[in-house]
Amino acid sequence: MAESPASPAVRLRSRAATEASIVEAGERILLRDAFPGLNVQTLAAEAGCDRKLVYRYFDGADGVVARIAARAHAELVRALDAVPASAADTLRAFARESLSAWLGALRASPLTLRLMAWALVESSPLLNRIESERSAVLQAWMRERRPRLRVPPEGDPVAVNAVLLAAVQHLALTGSVRPGVGGVALDEAGWARIEGALDALLAVFPD
């Protein structure tokens, strides 16, 4: 006797479960083997499914990477949203809060750090879009939190903040793969020194 075809609801659940399995497989590969090891063949093998399903559900490995990036961005949003509301009354204080919050969010998201490292050595429309989306996460959070502070006419605090932001992101990346940088061990005591250095560097901002 032939088996009856699965109902639409059962097929939908089966597809959702397979998609989740493939995305989770991609995350494991990315964290364990880094980006060179992530392709349709390794995704299918890790997820225990046919390669055709990676193409059918995601249109290839890029679709899986895009889904992973969306999950990584959600991690960043959760980490940033957990930061207490800003009590800053100067640009210096707000910049300090923002840089510290972003550093903490990055360090708490290994997937984000893997994607950032990937974008440093390879350029593609997908990776460029992921970088833009990550930047938008921080910008949206800062717009929501930023108090109404006057930007001084002298100096260029926006450019200074960009330099410090780049430094913070590099430190988070380095801390995920190396024990230290520039003579500073990236352990608990070292991160405290980094935070202190941010305070010193932000002295260029007006009170």
Predicted confidence (pLDDT) per residue in 147-156, tens digit = 777 666 666 7
Q: Which CATH number fits domain 8-59: 3.40.190.10, 1.10.1040.10, 1.10.10.60, 3.30.70.980?
A: 1.10.10.60
Quote the tokens at residue 136.
């938008």
Cβ contact 152:206 at 8 Å: yes
pLDDT in tens, 18-50: 999 999 999 999 999 999 999 999 999 999 999
Calculate the CA 60 to chain-centre distance. 22
Q: Could you tell me the pTM of the whole model?
A: 0.86
Of residues 81, 77, 89, the one with CA closest to residue 146: 89
Least confident of 97-111, 147-161, 171-185: 147-161
Residue 17 confidence (pLDDT): 93
Q: How much of the chain, in percent, has pLDDT values that exceed 70?
A: 89
pLDDT value at 3 more than 50: no
Q: Residue 128 contacts by C-beta under 8 Å, 6 or more apart in sequence?
A: 119
Tell me how far apart the alpha carbons of residues 140 and 146 are, in angstroms, rounded to a whole number. 10
Domain ranges of the chain: 8-59, 73-204
Residue 10 confidence (pLDDT): 56
Tell me how far apart the alpha carbons of residues 161 and 94 are, in angstroms, rounded to a whole number. 11
